[in-house]
Structure 1
């Protein structure tokens, strides 16, 4: 294509040069007798070169537009493949998670996040129940607070409206160390109402408590700091969620009961 484009340009330049020479010769009166003959020869050739160049320009523009269209298709295909790969990876992690075998899961996409509330693309038309919870791997993400026909809202632990009874466990030991109330304040998680006589530690896990109406032992976060004062009745722990609620794009819903 590149050689084809250059060839008419060379011919065009040659013809321009010849035209210039003919013009100069005509100005000094050297071509008065042969002027008409030369015009009959060169004008059709010049017209052909002009038309050929315009045709090549149009063809090149059409090919570029077609290539751009194909490129957009390929980009969209890559995005779709990446999305499918992520969904497959999420499903694989879920299958490897230590969750009850009788639970049935409905995959859902996150289509919005605001102040600790997640907007999902699943609702009652997809047989989603109002008591459903969401997990990412085996991590507790939240509970359905509003159920529409084709969308729903999920309250995460970071929502100011969330209050979760939770237990503290040492990852290296069985049994729980303490209980408390998990709340959100200024977009941070705190485990409050922990008795002074118990001794939770940094990096201990915080999990759901069956007494709170949720399935037990679903991880939520880990302790990053203990706030304790001798004259207080309770101590408090700062909690870091095990998953970034704003960073995930897919999760799984289940009616655990």
Structure 2
């Protein structure tokens, strides 16, 4: 019960990594609010989890409606009296339009960067206001390994995640005096339904060829890192960008070709 009596908001949380984080936090004793656009789906998820003794609720948040970032936080504080933990999990990209520098339309690039960045900036700003009054808190930003290792496409998504990594450090520095910590997690290829549906088998095989731990991550493994950053186990840790990616991006670029024959260099 590492998060007992803590009030948590998790954005984009009805499926995938966000849902895994909701479940993990609820298991640790937190009251968890699911920030969601589809309240019917959120209610169904919450009702199911609450059958097993969890305390999961839901609140409206639509990433395309700026005002809901603030209203989401304010509704939670109105209901619970405080907010202790914010997980900024929302992130989006259209792989059909978010391409490389030569082929991405400026308006598509700007749109992707803008929505991903403001989802973190506006929500964190709103939460910090109340965390200060509460004597502290923890903000956890779900970034991406693509924010640390340049990709051949999705230039808007990667740029936005790199900026979120930097924003994470700025929040950590600015708010340390208020006992507010801020850290980020960079998932690698994670076995969510969205990834399974969006990526073909040949691409997944190629990606995993360059991942030292030869498999996709599990949403629950990302959630475990989030629990660490949310709990007092990390109370002296702030401004950190943690890759939970199976080692992707660490090795020599020819790792995938040499891994099965490491001693052959001549």
TM-score exceeds 0.5: no
Higher strand share: 1
Higher helix share: 2
Q: TM-score range by the shorter chain?
A: under 0.3
Specify which structure has the bigger relative contact order, considering alpha-carbon pairs within 8 angstroms and separated by 6 or more residues.
2
TM-score for the superposition, normalised by structure 1: 0.27
